[in-house]
Structure 1
Amino acid sequence: MERLAGRIILLSGVSRAFVGFLAGLLAVLAQPPFGIFAAAFVSFPVLVWLIDGVAPYPSDGAFRRLRQPAAIGWSFGFGYFLGGLWWLGNALLVEADAFAWAIPLAVLGLPAVLGVFYALAVVIARCLWSDGWGRIAALALGFGIAEWLRGFVFTGFPWNAIGYAAMPMPLMMQSASVVNLSTINMLAVFVFAAPALIWTGKGARTGLAIAVALFTAHIAFGFYRLAQPAPPSAAPQMAVRVVQPVIDQAKKLDDRERASIFEDHLSLTAAPVQGGGKRPDIVVWPETSIPFILTDNPDALARIAEVLKDGQILVAGAVRAEDAGAGLPPRYYNSVYVIDDRGQIIGAADKVHLVPFGEYLPYEDLLTSWGLSSIAASMPGGFSAARMRPVLTLPGGRRLYPMICYEAIFADEVDANARLADVLLNVTNDAWFGDTPGPRQHFHQAQLRAVETGIPMIRAANTGISAVVDARGVLVLVLGYNYRGVLDTILPGKLPTLTDVPTRSRIFWLSMAILSIVASFSRFGFDIRKN
């Protein structure tokens, strides 16, 4: 292995970039649907050795000195994001006549742009690089900053953050109840990169000991938390039905199919509970499951009232229209409605964080002049974003914290209002992406929100994956991709949070400070136990 490390260190030019690309591609195996977190223990040591091989000429200026590490980081990132996000092109095939031309932009362009974040990570690491174990602290620091920025720059896209690779199952998710995803991103890179020290680097025993201690604590805390009694259901018990209709996206876009789609949802709603279980108190339909503007269709509300039993509540994804004033087209919102057994809309929440190019067109005036449009172009101006995310209160007092589609991937946007809720609600329509890794990755990231908040989650997805998840991320019931049917269960209870959001933020900045100090001491010649 030492010989292999040496050969990687000596690479240059195209060969070094290609190995960086392959290392990034390999790291994708640590994300769903594979969940082979051991792959990261190979890809990140390779990245360390590639950075070890950077040897700028003494006469090089600052820009030239950073060009090589930037190229390594970008090639690693391009491989990682290409391998992890290629399925986005599938959404453009749904309306191929209009959007097939954009497939190269989605499949190649987005990974190329996201690769810039990892280029920045490696540049930051290289500025504090050394030949000791402090260099993996520098790499962890660089990736911690890059992943933090990726969460909000250009509206944010923290999909497949490195930290998720360290949390492939509930046993390994429990650390998220103590520290935030940004901290896990940093510590995961430190642990994943540690094997590089076995064959190259001073102070290997110190760095490896810290990495082993972090990984052991991560696993041990998971065992401890899952060994505790499952969170009991709050009284009175609330029975939940999750509807997964499996409607093909092309069918959802066909106006002639709207009535049959609506009736399909209603038939699943009315199906008897298997095994004679408790009748559902709340029925949940996926994102945009109501295939028309509900407020323009009083007959549809009457039909819902016919199907719902006394006291039942329907929570359904729908497009909501709002009058924008005289002479202006309506505003459209991606929403969820709460509808009672009399067919009355008694609550609604609109999506706050829209998908760029999917639900709205950034810089619309400029880009439309170039002939571009969003996938939601059938609605003039696309969708509008809500200013805030309300907590939905049901009859009887139960409260839902709604997250529509990919809002569930933004860990830092789950605000303090979530703790006021009894359950997290995630409705989505992953039919756009077909039977690819996309829906599995989306579900995995949503699942972590339950662990972070200590609040159970109801997730309704058109084609899957639908589930009820308890407050520790354990699946109570799940319906896999492309399985048509319903889930009937009793809603689990909440757990107290071990740390609050401000405390987790402070832990993140403290961890960043510690890594900065360790990397700086190692870089500038201080002795950090070179044993």
Structure 2
Amino acid sequence: MDGIAGRIMLLSGWRRAALAIAAGLLTVLALPPFSLFAAPFISFPILVWLIDGLPADPSKGILRRYLPAFWTGWCFGFGYLAGGLWWLGNALLVEADTFAWALPLAVLGLPAVLAIYYGLAGLLARILWSEGWGRIAALAAGFGLAEWLRATALTGFPWNAIGYAAMPVPLAMQSVSLIGLMGMNVAAVFVFAAPALVGTRRGLAPGLMIAALLVAGHLVFGLWRLSTPPGPPLDPPMTLRVVQPVIDQAQKLDDAARAAIFETHLALSAAPPAEGGRRPDVIVWPETAVPFILTENPDALARIAEVLQEGQVLVTGAVRTEDAGAGLPPRYYNSMIMIDHQGQIIGAADKVHLVPFGEYLPLEDLISAAGLHAVAAAMPGGFSAAAQRMPMTLPGGRILYPVICYEAIFPAEIGDDALASAALLNVTNDAWFGDTPGPYQHFLQSRLRAVETGVPMVRVANSGISASIDPFGRVQKGLNFGVAGAFDVDLPPRAAPIFPPSGQSRNGLILQLIALAVAIFSRMSFVFREN
């Protein structure tokens, strides 16, 4: 391995850039639907050796000293993000006549912009670089900061944060309840990069020992948490029916198909329970399942009332409209709406975190002047964002915590108040992305929100993957991608959270600061030895 490390360090020019991009692409294989856990143990050592090989001549200016590290991190990030996000282009092809021109921006432009965060990770790591295992801590600290920025800056887009690569199965998911996704990003990069020490023999023993302790602690904690009993069962029990209709996105946009789409949802909702099963208390349809404004269509509410039995409620994704005042156009919200057996709307929750360019247009006046609109919102101005998340209180007092579509990828969107709910309810429409890695990646990220909070999740997707997920991330029951149907499931009990979501964030910050402190100390020791 020494020879491989040496050859990588000596690379320059386009060969260095190409290898960094290839290493980023390789890392994608650790994510669904591939879940090849070994991939980052190859890609991150390559990144370490590439940074090892950068010149460290103090006589050069700051730009010439550190720009190559930024460029190396950017290339790695571009490969990772382009390989992990190319499927976004599928959404533009649903209305290809309008949006196909933007395909290069989605497939290459967005990864190129997001890779700037990984360039900053490489830059910070290079500033704190040293000879021994401290450089692995520097890289972990750099990526931890980069992922935090990616999750928060400019509305945030933390899709496929590096930490997810270390959590493919429930056994490996439990640590996120302790240190959160931010902490997992830091720990994962340290462990993934540790094999680089074998190739250079510098800091080998302490670095591998720390990595081994992190892995052992990760797995032992997972075993312990999976062995802990959940909380007391719900009394009385609560049964939900999950409806997965698998409506093609092009069909959803066809006005002539609206009535048939609505009847498909009703037919799946009206099916009798399986033999010996309980009648569902709550029926859930996916995001934007209702293809018209319910408040403007009393006949649709009457049809829903015909299907629901006494005491049942329907929670459905739908577009909600609201009068904005005299002379102003109405506001539109991407919402969950709750309807009782009499066809009355008894509750609603609006989406808080909208998708830029998908549900609204940043710099709207400038962009709309060119005749463009948000991809998933054809109405003028797109959707409006809710000021705050409003839990949905069912008849009888139980609470469902609404998480609409990609809100599920933001740990910070799940507040401490979620701990009082019976379940996280995630409705989504991944039909925009077809049978690509996108829906599988989205499902993994959604599952982790249940593990973080200790609250079960019911996930309802138009095209899949729909599932009931217990508070340890285990799938109770579900329908895979592209399988139309419905299933009933008794809601599992909550688990006692290790820390509330806010506490996990603090723990992740502590781990980030520890990695940063180690990197700074190692760098200072290295400088003193040189002098």
Q: Shared fold (TM-score greater than 0.5)?
A: yes
In structure 1, give the amino acid aligned to 2:43: S
- Cα distance, 1:495 vs. partner? 0.9
Aligned in 2, Cα 1:266/1:111: closer, same or farther, shift over 3 Å? same
Contiguous gaps of at least 5 residues in structure 1: none
Once residues 501 and 470 of structure 2 are traced to their aligned partners in structure 1, the CA distance between those partners, rounded to angstroms, is 20
In structure 2, give the amino acid aligned to 1:100: A
Aligned in 2, Cα 1:64/1:485: closer, same or farther, shift over 3 Å? same
TM score, norm. by length of structure 2 = 0.98
- Cα distance, 1:228 vs. partner? 2.8
Which SS does the other structure have where 2:17 is aligned?
Answer: helix
In structure 1, give the amino acid aligned to 2:10: L
| Counterparts of residues 366-381 of structure 1 (less than 5 Å) | 366-381=366-381
- Cα distance, 1:518 vs. partner? 1.1
- Cα distance, 1:425 vs. partner? 0.3
Aligned in 2, Cα 1:513/1:378: closer, same or farther, shift over 3 Å? closer
The equivalent residue for 1:408 is 408
Per-residue CA deviation, residues 399-442 of structure 1 (Å, 9 max, x unaligned), is: 00001000000012211221121110000000000000000000
State whether residues 230 and 495 of structure 2, in contact with CA within 8 Å, keep that contact through their aligned partners in structure 1: no
The equivalent residue for 2:383 is 383
State whether residues 289 and 316 of structure 2, in contact with CA within 8 Å, keep that contact through their aligned partners in structure 1: yes
State whether residues 454 and 494 of structure 2, in contact with CA within 8 Å, keep that contact through their aligned partners in structure 1: yes
The equivalent residue for 1:428 is 428
Q: Which range is displaced more, 129-138 or 414-423? A: 414-423
In structure 2, give the amino acid aligned to 1:225: R
| Counterparts of residues 25-40 of structure 1 (less than 5 Å) | 25-40=25-40
- Cα distance, 1:138 vs. partner? 0.1
In structure 1, give the amino acid aligned to 2:119: A
Per-residue CA deviation, residues 244-283 of structure 1 (Å, 9 max, x unaligned), is: 0000000000011111000000000001112231111110
Which SS does the other structure have where 1:327 is aligned?
Answer: coil
The equivalent residue for 1:301 is 301
**Alignment pair present for 1:229 and 2:225:** no
- Cα distance, 1:79 vs. partner? 0.3
| Counterparts of residues 69-148 of structure 1 (less than 5 Å) | 69-148=69-148
**Alignment pair present for 1:485 and 2:485:** yes
- Cα distance, 1:527 vs. partner? 11
State whether residues 131 and 203 of structure 2, in contact with CA within 8 Å, keep that contact through their aligned partners in structure 1: no
Per-residue CA deviation, residues 472-510 of structure 1 (Å, 9 max, x unaligned), is: 111000100000001111100101111123432332232
**Alignment pair present for 1:198 and 2:211:** no
Aligned length: 529
- Cα distance, 1:140 vs. partner? 0.2
| Counterparts of residues 38-77 of structure 1 (less than 5 Å) | 38-77=38-77
Once residues 250 and 492 of structure 1 are traced to their aligned partners in structure 2, the CA distance between those partners, rounded to angstroms, is 36
Once residues 130 and 159 of structure 1 are traced to their aligned partners in structure 2, the CA distance between those partners, rounded to angstroms, is 31
Once residues 485 and 225 of structure 2 are traced to their aligned partners in structure 1, the CA distance between those partners, rounded to angstroms, is 32
Per-residue CA deviation, residues 149-176 of structure 1 (Å, 9 max, x unaligned), is: 1001110000000000000011100111
State whether residues 319 and 333 of structure 1, in contact with CA within 8 Å, keep that contact through their aligned partners in structure 2: yes
The equivalent residue for 2:330 is 330
- Cα distance, 1:370 vs. partner? 4.2
- Cα distance, 1:448 vs. partner? 0.3
Contiguous gaps of at least 5 residues in structure 2: none
The equivalent residue for 2:510 is 510
Once residues 413 and 74 of structure 1 are traced to their aligned partners in structure 2, the CA distance between those partners, rounded to angstroms, is 28
- Cα distance, 1:201 vs. partner? 4.2
Which SS does the other structure have where 1:272 is aligned?
Answer: coil
Per-residue CA deviation, residues 303-345 of structure 1 (Å, 9 max, x unaligned), is: 1000001111100000001111222221100000011111111
State whether residues 422 and 455 of structure 2, in contact with CA within 8 Å, keep that contact through their aligned partners in structure 1: yes
- Cα distance, 1:363 vs. partner? 0.8
Once residues 471 and 383 of structure 1 are traced to their aligned partners in structure 2, the CA distance between those partners, rounded to angstroms, is 32
In structure 1, give the amino acid aligned to 2:495: L
| Counterparts of residues 213-228 of structure 1 (less than 5 Å) | 213-228=213-228
Q: Which range is displaced more, 509-518 or 71-80? A: 509-518
In structure 2, give the amino acid aligned to 1:86: W
In structure 1, give the amino acid aligned to 2:91: A
Once residues 410 and 506 of structure 1 are traced to their aligned partners in structure 2, the CA distance between those partners, rounded to angstroms, is 16
Once residues 139 and 59 of structure 1 are traced to their aligned partners in structure 2, the CA distance between those partners, rounded to angstroms, is 24
- Cα distance, 1:230 vs. partner? 4.8
Q: Which range is displaced more, 219-228 or 249-258? A: 219-228
- Cα distance, 1:378 vs. partner? 2.0
The equivalent residue for 2:150 is 150
**Alignment pair present for 1:345 and 2:345:** yes
The equivalent residue for 1:163 is 163
Once residues 439 and 37 of structure 2 are traced to their aligned partners in structure 1, the CA distance between those partners, rounded to angstroms, is 19
The equivalent residue for 1:494 is 494
The equivalent residue for 1:362 is 362
Once residues 330 and 260 of structure 2 are traced to their aligned partners in structure 1, the CA distance between those partners, rounded to angstroms, is 26
The equivalent residue for 1:265 is 265
The equivalent residue for 1:255 is 255
Once residues 400 and 498 of structure 2 are traced to their aligned partners in structure 1, the CA distance between those partners, rounded to angstroms, is 21
State whether residues 467 and 487 of structure 1, in contact with CA within 8 Å, keep that contact through their aligned partners in structure 2: no
The equivalent residue for 2:311 is 311
Which SS does the other structure have where 2:332 is aligned?
Answer: strand
State whether residues 232 and 492 of structure 1, in contact with CA within 8 Å, keep that contact through their aligned partners in structure 2: no
The equivalent residue for 2:447 is 447
Once residues 56 and 178 of structure 2 are traced to their aligned partners in structure 1, the CA distance between those partners, rounded to angstroms, is 41
In structure 2, give the amino acid aligned to 1:310: E
The equivalent residue for 2:438 is 438
Aligned in 2, Cα 1:56/1:521: closer, same or farther, shift over 3 Å? closer
State whether residues 133 and 201 of structure 1, in contact with CA within 8 Å, keep that contact through their aligned partners in structure 2: no
TM score, norm. by length of structure 1 = 0.98
Which SS does the other structure have where 1:33 is aligned?
Answer: coil
Once residues 446 and 331 of structure 2 are traced to their aligned partners in structure 1, the CA distance between those partners, rounded to angstroms, is 28
Which SS does the other structure have where 1:354 is aligned?
Answer: coil
**Alignment pair present for 1:184 and 2:181:** no
The equivalent residue for 1:471 is 471
The equivalent residue for 1:211 is 211
Per-residue CA deviation, residues 163-203 of structure 1 (Å, 9 max, x unaligned), is: 00000011100111111100110010000000001121422
Once residues 527 and 235 of structure 2 are traced to their aligned partners in structure 1, the CA distance between those partners, rounded to angstroms, is 59
Once residues 308 and 71 of structure 2 are traced to their aligned partners in structure 1, the CA distance between those partners, rounded to angstroms, is 59
Identity %: 63
Which SS does the other structure have where 2:467 is aligned?
Answer: strand
Q: Which range is displaced more, 81-90 or 58-67? A: 58-67
In structure 2, give the amino acid aligned to 1:157: F
Which SS does the other structure have where 2:117 is aligned?
Answer: helix
Per-residue CA deviation, residues 62-115 of structure 1 (Å, 9 max, x unaligned), is: 111111001100100000001100000000000000000000000000110111
In structure 1, give the amino acid aligned to 2:195: P
In structure 1, give the amino acid aligned to 2:68: Q
- Cα distance, 1:232 vs. partner? 4.8
Which SS does the other structure have where 2:235 is aligned?
Answer: coil
In structure 2, give the amino acid aligned to 1:364: E
In structure 1, give the amino acid aligned to 2:295: T
Once residues 303 and 416 of structure 2 are traced to their aligned partners in structure 1, the CA distance between those partners, rounded to angstroms, is 37
In structure 2, give the amino acid aligned to 1:435: D
